[in-house]
């Protein structure tokens, strides 16, 4: 049987942190035997917020290097840059013309990003869910790994695809959401009530994949916990629960065995143990990243090959949509 096809995208802004890795990238790597994966550096999405052009260009290749360092295998998966396939933007325009304003105005991320960037509330920021829908629908995928915060956008994608198929004729496969059961939502170390974010200004908010061992240890030691003394998986104790979840994912131990391991121990011992596990797990990623960044030509070649491998799928879908709406 043919593998199911999956699409995932990630923006080249900010620095990749533990939440990105555990909530998305690690799952991408682990799923490469199970699915036909299409991974995309979605740099066109990044410009809904003002970017320094040179920095965006550099960040795009740095992100590709990090994904490769994390274990994305281009013999098993497709990896490319969004802006190098013009059909993404072209299909987004067709979808724009078939999405009601009311549907767009209900997108909660537009409201959140508008509040954070009140001086740059542009049209792209408002309608970028259409581009996200185009990213997905171009490749006739079966599923999309999403966090809880992206479910609304995938529902919009599904709605516009079903409506288009109904009104114009069969064109798009309807994708299903794939939500990881563990690690889908890693919280900030300084504020465990808030999801770990690239944009947070807190010095101890996030663990970045390229952080030094010393920085990782220091951040975990300052992580917010509570005044209790027992170390157990209790979702009502947000700081502790977040730390234990991180430890669970990296060690692959059962919750029962983790609770037994730290029975009678304090938060200091827990934090040190988590930091050590994370440091050793991220060490090979940092080392591979440094080697890759020493040969940017190799990264460019890998990305060009990835774009070439998926371009026929994108082109075929776009030409079908274009024909159905009457464009020549």
Q: In the chain, what are the domain boundaries?
A: 5-184+296-324, 213-290
* Domain covering 213-290: architecture: Orthogonal Bundle (1.10)
- Annotation says 198 is catalytic: yes
Six token digits for residue 62: 């740095």
In the chain, what is the greatest distance between 2 CA atoms, to the nearest angstrom? Answer: 72
The predicted structure's pLDDT at residue 181: 60
**Mind listing the pLDDT tens digit for each residue in 180-201?**
665 557 999 999 999 898 877 7
- Annotation says 221 is catalytic: no
The predicted structure's pLDDT at residue 120: 74
The predicted structure's pLDDT at residue 308: 97
The predicted structure's pLDDT at residue 5: 96
Catalytic, out of 3, 173, 198, 253: 198
Q: Which residues of the chain register pLDDT less than 70?
A: 1, 147-149, 180-184
Nearest Cα neighbor of 136 from 128, 144, 124 is: 144
8 A C-beta contact, residue 246 and residue 18: yes
Alpha helices in 97-237 (DSSP H): 101-105, 108-116, 123-137, 151-168, 213-221
The predicted structure's pLDDT at residue 182: 54
**Mind listing the pLDDT tens digit for each residue in 268-294?**
999 999 999 999 999 999 999 999 999
What CATH number is given for 5-184+296-324 in this structure?
A: 3.40.50.620
Q: How far apart are CA 150 and CA 218, in angstroms?
A: 31
Partners of 176 in beta bridges: 143
The predicted structure's pLDDT at residue 180: 63
pTM: 0.89
- Annotation says 113 is catalytic: yes
Catalytic, out of 26, 59, 113, 271: 113
Catalytic, out of 195, 221, 253, 322: 195
The predicted structure's pLDDT at residue 184: 56
Nearest Cα neighbor of 313 from 106, 172, 201 is: 172
């Amino acid at each position: 049987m043919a593998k199911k096809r999956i699409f995932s995208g990630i923006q080249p802004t900010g620095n990749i942190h533990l939440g990105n890795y555990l909530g998305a990238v690690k799952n991408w790597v682990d799923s490469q035997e199970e699915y036909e994966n299409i991974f995309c550096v979605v740099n066109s999405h990044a410009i809904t917020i003002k970017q320094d052009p040179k920095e965006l260009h550099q960040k795009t290749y740095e992100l590709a290097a990090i994904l490769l360092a994390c274990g994305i295998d281009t013999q098993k998966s497709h990896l490319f840059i969004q802006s190098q396939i013009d059909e993404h933007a072209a299909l987004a325009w067709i979808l724009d013309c078939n999405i009601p304003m009311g549907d767009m105005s209900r997108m909660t991320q537009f409201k959140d990003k508008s509040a954070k960037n009140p001086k740059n509330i542009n049209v792209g920021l408002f309608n970028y869910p259409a581009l996200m829908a185009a990213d997905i629908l171009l490749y006739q995928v079966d599923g999309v790994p999403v966090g809880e915060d992206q479910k609304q956008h995938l529902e919009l994608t599904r709605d516009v695809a079903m409506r288009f198929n109904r009104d114009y004729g069969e064109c798009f496969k309807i994708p299903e959401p794939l939500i990881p059961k563990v690690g889908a939502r890693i919280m900030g170390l300084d504020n465990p009530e808030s999801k770990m974010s690239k944009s947070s200004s807190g010095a101890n908010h996030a663990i970045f994949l390229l952080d030094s061992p010393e920085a990782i240890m220091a951040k975990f030691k300052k992580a917010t916990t509570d005044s209790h003394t027992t170390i157990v998986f209790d979702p009502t104790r947000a700081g502790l629960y977040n730390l234990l979840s991180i430890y669970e994912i990296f060690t692959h131990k059962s919750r029962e065995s983790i609770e037994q391991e730290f029975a009678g121990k304090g938060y200091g011992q827990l934090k040190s143990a988590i930091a050590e596990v994370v440091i050793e797990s991220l060490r090979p990623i940092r080392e591979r990243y440094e080697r890759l960044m020493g040969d940017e030509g190799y990264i460019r070649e890998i990305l060009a090959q990835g774009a070439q491998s998926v371009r026929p799928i994108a082109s075929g879908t776009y030409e079908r949509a274009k024909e159905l709406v009457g464009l020549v």
